[in-house]
Amino acid sequence: MKNETQKAIYLFASAGGEKSMSFIKKSNAAYLLLLNAVLWGSSYVWSKMLLEYLPRFSILFLCSLGGLVSTLLIYYPQLRTISLKAIGRSAGISVFSIISNTFFILALQFTSSSNAAFIVQMSVVFTPFLMAAIEKKRPEGKSVLSILVAILGLFLLTCDLNNFCLKLGDLFALGNALFFSVFLTCQKVHSEKLNPVHFSMIHHAINTAGFLTLMLIVESTSIRNLKNINSQFLLLISMSILITILTILIQSAAIKFVRPEKAALIYTIEPVAALVLAGIFIGEKLEGPSAVIGCGLILLSVIYSLYTHERKKEIHKDLNNGAVLRGGKGFDEYGKI
């Protein structure tokens, strides 16, 4: 009787995690990832501004800790339902997030927030090839076309055509892109086996432990040397924590319905958001007409990606309706029965 009761509690709590994110569906997953891109784009600016108050790993630690505490307060009843397999899978995936975020915060120290954000979008190149390697098939032709347009846009935005050079911050940003692609791909591969809330809890816990260790090793005096705590600092850290919570929850649920190469392409809107907000809050601007053209190409690639995604859904819907009317079983997302 006791085992049956425990099983019932587990199933109820697990279902609660799924229901809490049930507003994320196949029909809106791509648009919620677009919202995620804007939120993540803004995080470049807030993190750049936070560097005036705290060293790099202290910022990442506080954001992860805030995300962990908030997630536990909201979803505490589900803590007991996390399995060892979920811990193992989520912890393994989260390690790539630690590496990616480490490159991210290092990049911000050596280049502008908008420049780092655009270079990081090279993940649109890495992700399709990672998925193609896992699935042992070629990327879709339309995805490749969108990727090529996005790459051209990134080149025009980040490259100084008069004095071509690659800075240290650019290399760190490329490292961020590579490991974010690995993180995104792993999350997709295991998305059907992981509860989004469970993943978020474990993700924040692993990141908190990782960045606390790095902070203590590299920045042992950071808390004692905390400078000028004021309302702006509290607002910036609060926004960063909120973004940390929302983006992980949304992505872990939405990635079930969107292929990772499509998600990576949608995330190319991230640097556009970073660029606009950086111009408003810290005075960073586009340099020359090539940067403006590059920004436009990235926007075009995202719009094209979303349009083809919606068109494909309409075709599959029509196919399903026809199959059902003829007594068939219908088709899945990729047109297979």
Dihedral sign, Cα of residue 300, residue 306, residue 310, residue 313: positive
Structure-block tokens of residue 170: 């650019």
Contact call for residues 223 and 58 (beta carbons, < 8 A) = yes
Residue 88 has pLDDT above 90, yes or no: yes
Q: Kindly state the greatest CA–CA separation across the chain.
A: 75
What does the alpha-carbon distance between residue 90 and residue 95 come to, in Å, rounded to a whole number? 9
CA-derived radius of gyration, the chain: 21
Mean pLDDT check: name the lowest of 200-209, 237-246, 251-260: 251-260
Residue 317's pLDDT is what?
A: 55
What does the alpha-carbon distance between residue 157 and residue 28 come to, in Å, rounded to a whole number? 30
Angle (nearest 5°) at CA 130 between 108 and 40: 30
Residue 126's pLDDT is what?
A: 78
Mean pLDDT of 248-265: 76
- In one letter, which amino acid is 8? A
Q: Record the pTM.
A: 0.69
Residue 274's pLDDT is what?
A: 84
Angle (nearest 5°) at CA 211 between 120 and 237: 75
Report the 10 Å Cβ neighbour count for 69.
14
What does the alpha-carbon distance between residue 57 and residue 106 come to, in Å, rounded to a whole number? 9
What does the alpha-carbon distance between residue 199 and residue 244 come to, in Å, rounded to a whole number? 13
Residue 254's pLDDT is what?
A: 81
What does the alpha-carbon distance between residue 301 and residue 283 come to, in Å, rounded to a whole number? 27
Q: How confident is the prediction for the chain on average, in pLDDT?
A: 76
Q: What share of the chain is helix, strand, coil (3-state, %, to 5)?
A: 80, 0, 20
- Contacts for 76 with CB less than 8 Å, ≥ 6 apart: none
Mean pLDDT of 208-232: 76
Mean pLDDT of 297-304: 73
Structure-block tokens of residue 148: 């090529």
What does the alpha-carbon distance between residue 201 and residue 70 come to, in Å, rounded to a whole number? 9
Residue 86 has pLDDT above 60, yes or no: yes
Q: Is 209 helix (H, G, I), strand (E, B) or coil?
A: helix
Q: Which of 7-16, 146-155, 191-200, 324-333 has the highest mean pLDDT?
A: 191-200
Beta strands in 149-199 (DSSP E): none
Contact call for residues 129 and 138 (beta carbons, < 8 A) = no
Mean pLDDT of 164-171: 71
94-151 residue pLDDT tens: 999 999 999 988 888 887 777 777 777 777 777 777 888 888 877 667 767 777 887 7
